[in-house]
Structure 1
Amino acid sequence: MSVQDLAQDYLATGKLGTLPDGHFINGKLTAASNGKMESFDPGRAEAFAEFSLASAEEMDAAIGAAEKAAAHWRRVAPGERCRILNEVARVFRANADRLAVMEVIDSGKTLAEATGDVNSSARLFEYYAGAADKLDGRSVNLGPDYTAFTVREPVGVTGHIIPWNYPTSTFARGVAPALAAGCSVVAKPAETTPFTALLMAELLSEAGVPDGLVNVVTGLGRDVGAQLARDPRIKQLTFTGSVATGVNVAQMAAPNITRLTLELGGKSPLIAFEDADPEKVADGAYWAIFSNSGQICSAGSRLILHKSIRGDVLDILAERASKIKPGHGLRSPDMGAINSDLHLSRIKAHVDAAKSRGVSILTGGDVTTDCETGKGWFFQPTVIADLQPNDPAVQEEIFGPVLSVQNFETEDEAIALANGTEFGLIASVYTRDVGRSMRVAAAMDCGQVSINDYWAGGLELPFGGNKKSGYGREKGWEGLDAYTKVKSITVSNAS
């Protein structure tokens, strides 16, 4: 069925055909043994399926299968790993419609956003397929008496705790480099978005990934997620989520000295100087905060405007935001749903608290529903103006379609405002002055900076944060570092 047929069928019936049932362990779906939990369609605020809650025994079996598979996979020729990962990308593209529709229903995002996520997931496997046979060491010149070189070896079994806001692409950005490096995988998707990871695991198997190499176990974070973090057989743990949960994960992994990649929260600034084009700034800010309903760790949730262009930019932005029509993602709305009722209540609490402080709400500011059905979990696109540096709407991650605006007069003031939170994920600078853009980029305490285009960059570049946004890097060549360990070997040439 085409993507349109799949979408129309679901909208008419509330069903999505055959969904993966159970956990994916050692190359096959296994029946649930510990009960099930409802999974909700955020666009309707209604349950559409059930998924399995794993037992400790099932997680143990998944890690055991991964440990056995890792011992074999590390000996597979890099060229063969390259071939298999390229086949994974092909299979993902062949099943893109089904994956995208499932992603919409699971997460609440729009079909266009989900389709983009599926395409980027396939591209991640292509990118790391190209890296599989190029993970070379280096020779080191110690003089004529020695031959010295380094080799990069796989770390072994890797654990991946996947967030709910980007279930497909976050799965791919960890699993693809792990497999390229010669590692095996145990993944635990978020409990609100379990299905795409299970389907992707099935497709990996279809593409020729050996049994046991990629395992997906669904359930609650406090149960199976915690078990994954604590298990000494896990040699690298990659976590994406909130700061508080990331701290807990790090503490659970610490006794085993497990390697960690933590991609946590953000409060990323878009800085616009007086020479920037107000239309371009407003457009950049629009997509930076309202994409995926603002549920992006790297969302441009702070707009830092030079006072001379404040009025022009905010007039354009507020008008555009007020015209956004939210709706079920399969109907191609302007903006999709909030992932869960719980998270919607958190966003509302943040904005209600801002209202109680008497701040200026230029547009939005409340819960809403699908404009066609009156159902679903949605929040109005919201712009909060003229905030002080210590305001909670500036300092705290809201993780929704809520933009906090600050004003400045000097370059030094803009830098201080941009760096003035506990986060440091990304930043963007809008100016025609190349020298200024380079000075400000150098002064940003964050992992990525873009100039005159908030979402500039791509999966070829490393992604990750500083401060409480976490540590380690994913994507790009640097994304392989987490899954390899370096060994140096020195040979005496003496006779």
Structure 2
Amino acid sequence: MKDLAPHRHIDLKPFIDGAHVPTGNDAAVPTYDPATGEVLAQVPVADAALVDRAVKSAKAALKGAWAEITPAERGRILFRVAQAIRSRAEELATVESLDSGKPMREAKGDIETSARYFEYYAGMADKLQGDTIPLGKGFVSFTQHEPVGVTAHIIPWNFPLVTTTRGLAPALAAGATAVVKPAEQTPLTALMLGTILKDAGVPDGVVNIVCGTGATTGAPLVAHPDIAHVTFTGSVATGISVMRSAAEHVASVTMELGGKSPVVVLDDADQEAALEGTLKAIFTNAGQVCSAGSRLVIERGCADAFIEKLRARVRQIGIGRGIDDPGLGPIVSLQQLQKIDQIVTASIEAGAGLLEGGKILNPEGLGGWFYAPTLLKAAKADMPAVQEEIFGPVLTIQIADDFEHACELAECTRFGLVAGIYTADFSKAMRFGRSVSAGQVYINQYFAGGVETPFGGTKNSGFGREKGLEALRAYYAVKTITAKI
């Protein structure tokens, strides 16, 4: 049994100007253990007044101690943050698993990735240099990079710490400051990060963390006139609302709005590799992944044998508490569990064939929110299981007549975040990669790439890029200085 004590020592109050501060009200939002349905903690809610205080703290820090620190020293600070995260990896992973429900192996991977973000961007802090522009003998013209200002980070519940660090690390590397609003369902590791940052030498006010609901805390943060950039990960509907609010004060935005990503398997593919990739693509974090491969588009010639192997493997997936590292953990909330069940039911009523699962589970000894790993066979492309982001352990199977038909089916939704293909034909893989509307394409491996590779969407999956060098562009402004000589 894992030691569950770490979460009891987390200071749950907002982290503002380098310290956890009282909210001055009694409002709180519970965060649950999804495996049992039990309340882990009551997290104090930051209202609009506290959000304003956090933004003002970040604005003051932008022109204060943070501006006085050299880029090289910023890099050293970020590297110390990475080391500190690694030194507390077991504790952070336990809290992450407990709060989100994800299996421990996945939580540990997320913590290492979080450290890696700070490590990667630490190396970039002193390399954000401008250009000289040749205007002729009578002029000197050059560009310099300046921090964009105070940035707001609206964090989703499915990858709490790793999504926080994915935006925060490049923002700090560029010299910007930040206010972070974790999801109310999974705020614990983000709150722990405040102390880690302070102990690593991040000056007070550079990073502030406020918790609460979207309406109470997130909305006033996004609407604050001193926010220069909003980094948002979440649903399309909420993303549209965030964009409208940010536009009122002309703040830039990075939007990652989900997906309905295809995994294409052709007849000539390595079938075992494709099988492993398909399972990983949909059942990682119980399918609660924006880039999940939630649609299997498979060529008819290999479909029957592949699906039978897939069904056999799905039946073997064990269910349990995240901290016990099961094959599949719980769904993050009762609300999300009900959404999954509603879409699956609607899809079956619309003609989808149920091959495996398709029901809410109640594992013995646990009172939480579990959904059976599910396989649906789509009868047509317009049914809910094909078009809607279910965000659960539900794989929809579409049969393609040939390669061209597979490419057509891959494009049949309004999303464009990720697409994957398994094939031995390099030419087909490249043709698919060039033609498909997706921010990233995986070939013969799913979830390929890493911290170094840009990540973002097209179509309704959003715009802007996280990760890699591209992410830095959101957090600095380019100033051009030209002089006559």
- Indicate the TM-score class for this superposition, using the shorter chain for normalisation: over 0.9
2:172 is matched with 179
Residues 339 and 377 in structure 1, CA contact (< 8 A), matched pair in contact too: yes
1:8 is matched with 2
SS in 2 for 1:459: coil
1:208 maps to 2:208 = no
Q: Unaligned stretches of 5+ in structure 2? A: none
Residues 287 and 391 in structure 2, CA contact (< 8 A), matched pair in contact too: yes
Q: How many residues align?
A: 483
SS in 1 for 2:351: coil
CA displacement at 1:491 relative to structure 2: 2.2
Say which of 155, 159, 166 aligns to 1:162: 155
For the residues of structure 1 that align with 2:219 and 2:366, how far apart are their CA atoms? 38
1:25 is matched with 16
Of stretches 146-155 and 82-91 in structure 1, the one that deviates more from structure 2 is 146-155
TM alignment of 1:479-490, pairs within 5 A: 479-490=471-482
For the residues of structure 2 that align with 1:479 and 1:359, how far apart are their CA atoms? 39
Of stretches 147-156 and 445-454 in structure 1, the one that deviates more from structure 2 is 147-156
SS in 1 for 2:123: helix
2:441 is matched with 449
SS in 1 for 2:329: coil
Post-superposition Cα deviations, 1:238-281, rounded to whole Å, max 9, x if no partner, equal 00000010011111111111100010110001111111122221
Say which of 282, 295, 305 aligns to 2:275: 282
Q: Which amino acid letter does the alignment assign opposite residue 137 of structure 1?
A: G
Aligned-residue Cα RMSD (Å) equals: 1.2
1:427 maps to 2:419 = yes
Of stretches 234-243 and 269-278 in structure 1, the one that deviates more from structure 2 is 269-278
Of stretches 127-136 and 383-392 in structure 1, the one that deviates more from structure 2 is 383-392
TM alignment of 1:105-120, pairs within 5 A: 105-120=98-113
CA displacement at 1:19 relative to structure 2: 1.8
1:53 maps to 2:62 = no
SS in 1 for 2:124: helix
For the residues of structure 1 that align with 2:47 and 2:416, how far apart are their CA atoms? 37
1:136 is matched with 129
For the residues of structure 1 that align with 2:152 and 2:379, how far apart are their CA atoms? 40
1:330 is matched with 323
For the residues of structure 1 that align with 2:379 and 2:163, how far apart are their CA atoms? 33
Runs of 4+ in structure 1 over 6 Å off: none
Residues 327 and 369 in structure 1, CA contact (< 8 A), matched pair in contact too: no
1:4 is matched with none
Say which of 300, 307, 322 aligns to 1:307: 300
CA displacement at 1:33 relative to structure 2: 2.0
Identity %: 46
Post-superposition Cα deviations, 1:119-155, rounded to whole Å, max 9, x if no partner, equal 0000000000000000011122223232222111101
2:59 is matched with 67
For the residues of structure 2 that align with 1:309 and 1:149, how far apart are their CA atoms? 58
Q: Unaligned stretches of 5+ in structure 1? A: 1-6
2:117 is matched with 124
Of stretches 22-31 and 348-357 in structure 1, the one that deviates more from structure 2 is 348-357
Of stretches 373-382 and 243-252 in structure 1, the one that deviates more from structure 2 is 373-382
For the residues of structure 2 that align with 1:148 and 1:358, how far apart are their CA atoms? 64
CA displacement at 1:17 relative to structure 2: 2.9
1:390 is matched with 382
TM-score normalised by L of structure 1:
0.96
TM alignment of 1:189-268, pairs within 5 A: 189-268=182-261
TM-score normalised by L of structure 2:
0.98
SS in 2 for 1:124: helix
CA displacement at 1:32 relative to structure 2: 3.0
CA displacement at 1:56 relative to structure 2: 1.6
For the residues of structure 1 that align with 2:354 and 2:84, how far apart are their CA atoms? 47
Post-superposition Cα deviations, 1:288-318, rounded to whole Å, max 9, x if no partner, equal 0000000000000011000001012111111
CA displacement at 1:411 relative to structure 2: 2.3
CA displacement at 1:201 relative to structure 2: 1.3
Of stretches 357-366 and 94-103 in structure 1, the one that deviates more from structure 2 is 357-366
TM alignment of 1:80-95, pairs within 5 A: 80-95=73-88
CA displacement at 1:8 relative to structure 2: 2.6
Of stretches 140-149 and 390-399 in structure 1, the one that deviates more from structure 2 is 140-149
Q: Which amino acid letter does the alignment assign opposite residue 327 of structure 2?
A: D
2:406 is matched with 414
CA displacement at 1:75 relative to structure 2: 3.5
CA displacement at 1:345 relative to structure 2: 0.4
